[in-house]
């Protein structure tokens, strides 16, 4: 019997994502000037206020308040009427030095023997459902909000948009797990107060359906475009009004959108957030590594869908184990346990090896903090960072290294394909 599956996304202006972006901007700045920095930063944002907390071990000094303000302004919170803007909000820092009890389990005599920065299990997932090997409902939810942000910044076709927004997409699947049609799309967007509730809602609904959705659809391959239909149920600003939003409407915290950050509810999640953590924290680095494994397995033809789990003990170098679930989509006679054994031979999952393989000690994390950490484009960009003493540094940074299909040939060789 056909079934429905739903995923959601939130924009860069959502309070929780504001917090994530500030935390990851701090990570990037610490790594830019000291690539061995150990950082775990949490951010809280609310009406007119930002609170930074966490632990840091680094040889550099940063103006963390200014970094937070720059992030907020870049997102688009630049007006006093939002009750939260980068130029006037208060920024309180309670960041202190990392505990020696934690650090002793991570730093070792040689980099290769670096222990895991925490215990826990991490998951990676991939599917043939989309060109970027991501679940379709989440991919569409992200695309809707990225395009909405472009429209906001263009300030041309739609002129009333504010930074905060959310989306949700529901898809009908066949018994054999093939997407059949888009059933429902939800878009809630913060907006200026420009008329009566009825006038605003009517205008926003028309613009979302007639301007935003066609722009999103035009970016997609033909088979996905065909899933759009005249019977889609649209819920546009279902409460009828969304003027008060952002951190003034809802307090934001780092790490509260981990399902949006990963696979939209497909596969599994180990529970650990990513943003604000340097790559010695396996919550982050091993989650990227398992995505890298999953994507390369599917691309190599080992399966059509796969979930990869790895687990660690704090301070211990080798993982506790690797688990593979191909959901019965492996086309040849191998058990998931046999595949897991092969994977453990191909991919070195020691924390230091992951950092090196995926080049994780680059200041590459600000770009991950909105619109998902997975399914993004691998590219190299130039980024510039500044210190309070006026020192500037420009670095070429490779983004989303875990999205590379650089192990496909190795996987095929190992599996005799």
The CATH number given to whatever domain includes residue 53 is 3.30.300.10
CB neighbours of 139 closer than 8 A, spacing ≥ 6?
A: 130, 132, 375
Question: Residues marked as binding for Mg(2+)?
Answer: 16
**Residue 202 and residue 61 share a domain:** no
Instruction: Give the pair of three-digit tokens for residue 350.
Output: 């020691």
Residue 249 lies in a domain: no
Cβ contact 69:31 at 8 Å: no
Residue 251 lies in a domain: no
CA distance 190 to 162: 5
Per DSSP bridges, beta strands 49-57 and 90-97 are: parallel
**Residue 407 and residue 305 share a domain:** yes
CA distance 367 to 252: 19
Question: Residues marked as binding for K(+)?
Answer: 42
Question: Residues marked as binding?
Answer: 14, 16, 42, 55, 98, 164-166, 241-242, 250, 256-257, 273, 277, 281
Q: What is the pLDDT of residue 107?
A: 59
Q: What residue numbers bound the domain in which 352 lies?
A: 120-127+257-414
CB neighbours of 134 closer than 8 A, spacing ≥ 6?
A: 126, 127, 263, 372, 374, 375
Cβ contact 262:290 at 8 Å: no
Residue 24 lies in a domain: yes
Residues of the chain with pLDDT under 70: 99-112
* Total domains present in the chain: 3
Cβ contact 84:45 at 8 Å: yes
pTM strictly above 0.85? yes
**Residue 159 and residue 80 share a domain:** no
CA distance 352 to 349: 8
Instruction: Give the pair of three-digit tokens for residue 389.
Output: 């003493």
3-state secondary structure 167-234: EEEEEEECCCCCEEEEEEEEEEEEECCCCCHHHHHHHHHHHHHHHHHHHHHHCCCHHHHCCCCCCCEE
Quick: pLDDT tens for 72-129: 999 999 999 999 999 999 999 999 987 665 555 565 556 667 878 788 999 999 999 9
How many C-beta atoms surround the C-beta of residue 5 within 10 A?
19
Label residue 401 exposed, middle or buried (CB < 10 Å: 0-12, 13-18, 19+).
Answer: middle
Alpha helices (H) along 35-103 = 64-75, 100-103
**Residue 395 and residue 276 share a domain:** yes
Residue of 327, 342, 331 lying closest to 413 (CA atoms): 342
Residue 250 lies in a domain: no
Q: What is the pLDDT of residue 207?
A: 98
**Residue 361 and residue 299 share a domain:** yes
Q: Where is the domain boundary, 214, 244, 274?
A: 244
**Residue 348 and residue 265 share a domain:** yes
Instruction: Give the pair of three-digit tokens for residue 137.
Output: 């409902």
Question: Which helix (H) or strand (E) is 94 found in, with range?
Answer: strand 90-97
How does DSSP classify residue 395? E
Q: At what angle do helices 64-75 and 15-33 cross, to 10 degrees?
A: 130
Q: What is the pLDDT of residue 112?
A: 66
Q: What is the pLDDT of residue 391?
A: 86
Q: What is the pLDDT of residue 108?
A: 53
CA distance 230 to 216: 16
Task: Name the E strands within 220-328.
Answer: 233-236, 252-253, 305-312, 321-325
**Residue 299 and residue 372 share a domain:** yes
Question: Residues marked as binding for ATP?
Answer: 14, 164-166, 241-242, 250, 256-257, 273, 277
- In angstroms, the Cα distances linking 352 to 58, 121, 266, 282 are 18, 17, 28, 10
How does DSSP classify residue 60? -
Q: Where is the domain boundary, 187, 215, 244?
A: 244
Residue of 115, 18, 33, 34 lying closest to 69 (CA atoms): 18
**Residue 318 and residue 232 share a domain:** no
Q: Where is the domain boundary, 244, 279, 294?
A: 244
Question: Residues marked as binding for L-methionine?
Answer: 55, 98, 250, 281
Residue 388 lies in a domain: yes
CA distance 27 to 278: 6
**Residue 142 and residue 76 share a domain:** no
Instruction: Give the pair of three-digit tokens for residue 231.
Output: 């019977």
């Amino acid at each position: 019997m056909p079934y429905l599956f739903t995923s959601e996304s939130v924009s860069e202006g959502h309070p929780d994502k504001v917090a994530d972006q500030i935390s990851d901007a701090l990570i990037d700045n610490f790594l830019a000037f000291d690539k061995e920095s150990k950082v775990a930063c949490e951010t809280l944002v609310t009406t007119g206020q930002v609170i930074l907390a966490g632990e840091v071990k680094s040889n550099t000094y940063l103006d963390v308040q200014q970094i937070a303000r720059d992030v907020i302004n870049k997102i688009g919170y630049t007006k006093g009427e939002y009750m939260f803007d980068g130029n006037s909000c208060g920024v309180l820092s309670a960041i202190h030095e990392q505990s020696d009890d934690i650090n002793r389990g991570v730093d070792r005599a040689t980099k290769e023997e670096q222990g895991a920065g925490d215990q826990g299990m991490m998951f990676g997932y991939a599917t043939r459902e989309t060109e970027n090997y991501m679940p379709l409902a989440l991919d569409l939810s992200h695309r809707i909000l990225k395009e909405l942000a472009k429209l906001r910044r263009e300030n041309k076709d739609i002129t009333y948009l504010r930074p905060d927004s959310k989306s949700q997409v529901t898809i009908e699947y066949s018994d054999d797990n093939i997407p059949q049609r888009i059933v429902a799309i939800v878009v809630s967007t913060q907006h200026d107060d420009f008329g009566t509730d009825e006038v605003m809602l009517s205008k926003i609904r028309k613009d979302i359906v007639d301007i935003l959705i066609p722009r999103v659809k035009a970016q997609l391959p033909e088979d996905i475009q065909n899933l759009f239909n005249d019977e889609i149920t649209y819920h546009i600003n279902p409460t009828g009004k969304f003027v008060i939003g952002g951190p003034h409407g809802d307090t934001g915290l780092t790490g509260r959108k981990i399902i949006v950050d990963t696979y939209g509810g497909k596969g599994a999640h180990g529970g650990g957030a990513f943003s604000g953590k340097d790559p010695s924290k396996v919550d982050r680095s091993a989650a990227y590594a398992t995505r890298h494994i999953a994507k390369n397995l599917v691309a190599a033809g080992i399966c059509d869908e796969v979930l990869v789990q790895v687990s660690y003990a704090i301070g211990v170098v080798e993982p506790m184990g690797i688990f593979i679930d191909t959901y019965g989509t492996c086309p040849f006679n191998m058990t998931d346990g046999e595949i897991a054994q092969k994977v453990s031979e191909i991919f070195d999952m020691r924390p230091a090896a992951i950092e090196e393989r995926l080049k994780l000690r680059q200041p590459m994390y600000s770009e991950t903090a909105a619109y998902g950490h997975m399914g993004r484009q691998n590219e190299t960009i130039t980024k510039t960072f500044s210190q309070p003493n006026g020192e500037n540094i420009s670095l070429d940074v490779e983004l989303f290294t875990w999205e590379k299909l650089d192990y496909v040939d190795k996987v095929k060789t190992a599996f005799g394909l």
